[in-house]
Amino acid sequence: MSFAASGGWTLVEWLLLIERELLLFALFWFVIGMVDELAVDAIWFCMRLKPGFRTPYLSRDVSQGRLDGRLAVFVACWHEADVIGATVANMLRCWKESEYILYIGCYCNDPATVAAVTAIGGSDPRLRIVIHDKFGPTTKADCLNRIYKAMCADEQRLGQRFKGIVLHDSEDMVHPLELMLIDRALSDVEFVQLPVRPEIPEGAHWVAGHYCDEFAEAHARAMPVRDALGAGLPAAGVSCGFSRDMLELIGEVRMMGSADGPFAADCLTEDYELGMLIPHLGGRGCFLRCRDADGHLIGTRSYFPDTVLTSVRQKTRWMHGICLQGWDRLGWNARLVDIWMSIRDRRGPLIALVLFAAYILLLVEGVLAVARLWLGKDMPQLAPPPAYLHYAMNLCAMGLVWRSFMRALFTGREYGWREGLLAPLRLPVANVVMILAARRALWAYCRSLGGARVVWDKTEHMVHPSLVASAPPPPCPMENAA
């Protein structure tokens, strides 16, 4: 067996050199990422020491009151006939208040979605169906702008102004106390975000399960830390409310630049951008994590993609909009805390590159292991690695154990100990999805720089949580114990 290669070096020697370079590259960024996450962990643990940090439980009599002002709920739809009927029915059933209007935005070339909405609540005075005059799909933001114009027309016609606007997706299962919580928060701030709770589908759920892990950690650790630091808060596009005055101000600023409304029609993640614009315009945001009297999280429940292909498509849109477009469109805030959080938001492509290098390193290690068995004592050797390399490797190993523990902790206390034990095992799935999504996002971004039109590359939704499980999720007694 010959390992000879051109230039006087053997193939094994080249692989040893590649191994060393990949190891240095991966370890450098792993250590930086570990320090970043440990800083967030440290702040979170310090917050846990404060008596008032515990997740509040709302009493049953909270739902007995009326809203302080009228709320408009926006839902943009394109080919959502399979789930939108269940979503509308669930919203109208759960939200007993009369001080809100549910605006469902549809397209004139999507009659199935229009029919599904009409069949469920066509006669309910709290429901308003808005038909876009453009053929779909345009973008989600463009559809939201059409809904916004319809809301403004209703305000002029009725002589009543809304207090706030709530955003939701067509597959969401809402909580009965959501509107009450958002209404009270908007009396003090201009933007409020409630948690998102991905649902676990029946059977094997390695892909869908990694969404549960990520959101459980993000909305119980990262978002509370951002809120406590006073950093800009990204809007998730669901269970988020904006004050009417702030949304109008954003619309006026954008329409000065020939935009069509407050939602950026050429942005793939208009919700994230809206949340981050609030502090730029002098507004305040907050993240509210509460549970009802039975221990159920007050937020949005929905099913997320459960195949690699659909998950990659969804995360491509997130990475394109947040990491790449966000850099172009939002720039950098002067405050250090906002710079830190913006770097965390936009690091996705870099993380994907580092993970890709790490997996290539594993393949190289496998080939070298075979070479060591084959060559034995004749195995070539490079110069001994520097001592700090061993320290960095040990540090990264300990960091991986710690991150796996934290992921298991947050997933376990929201979904139970079985899912908590599976959470570290789903990390490779999340890594592969991120790598594939980063590649697609980079190509899509390059095409957009060349003038390609931004299109709503939406996720297909086939099942609504209310059609699978009529009972709410189990309560979480571990929330205040962890």
Mean pLDDT of 263-286: 90
Instruction: For residue 266, name the pLDDT band (cuts at 50, 70, 90).
Output: confident
Beta pairing, strands 100-107 & 71-76: parallel
The predicted-structure confidence for 311-322, as pLDDT tens digits, reads as follows 999 999 999 999
Beta pairing, strands 191-193 & 240-243: antiparallel
What's the rounded Cα separation, in Å, for the pair 269 and 220?
22
H or E stretch at 470: none
Predicted pLDDT at 138:
87
Mean pLDDT of 36-55: 91
pTM here? 0.90
Beta pairing, strands 196-199 & 300-303: parallel
- The angle subtended at Cα 258 by Cα 257 and Cα 263, nearest 5°, is 85
Predicted pLDDT at 471:
45
What's the rounded Cα separation, in Å, for the pair 262 and 270?
9
For the chain, give the longest Cα–Cα distance: 88
pLDDT of 18 over the 80 cut: yes
Instruction: For residue 64, name the pLDDT band (cuts at 50, 70, 90).
Output: low
pLDDT of 209 over the 90 cut: yes
What's the rounded Cα separation, in Å, for the pair 265 and 295?
38
Strand partners, 64: none
Range from 247-256, 291-300, 400-409, 453-462 that averages highest in pLDDT: 400-409
Q: What secondary structure does DSSP assign to 47-60, as a single string?
A: HHTSGGGSPPB--G
Instruction: For residue 479, name the pLDDT band (cuts at 50, 70, 90).
Output: low
Residue 148: Cβ-neighbour burial (10 angstroms; 0-12, 13-18, 19+): buried
H or E stretch at 106: strand 100-107
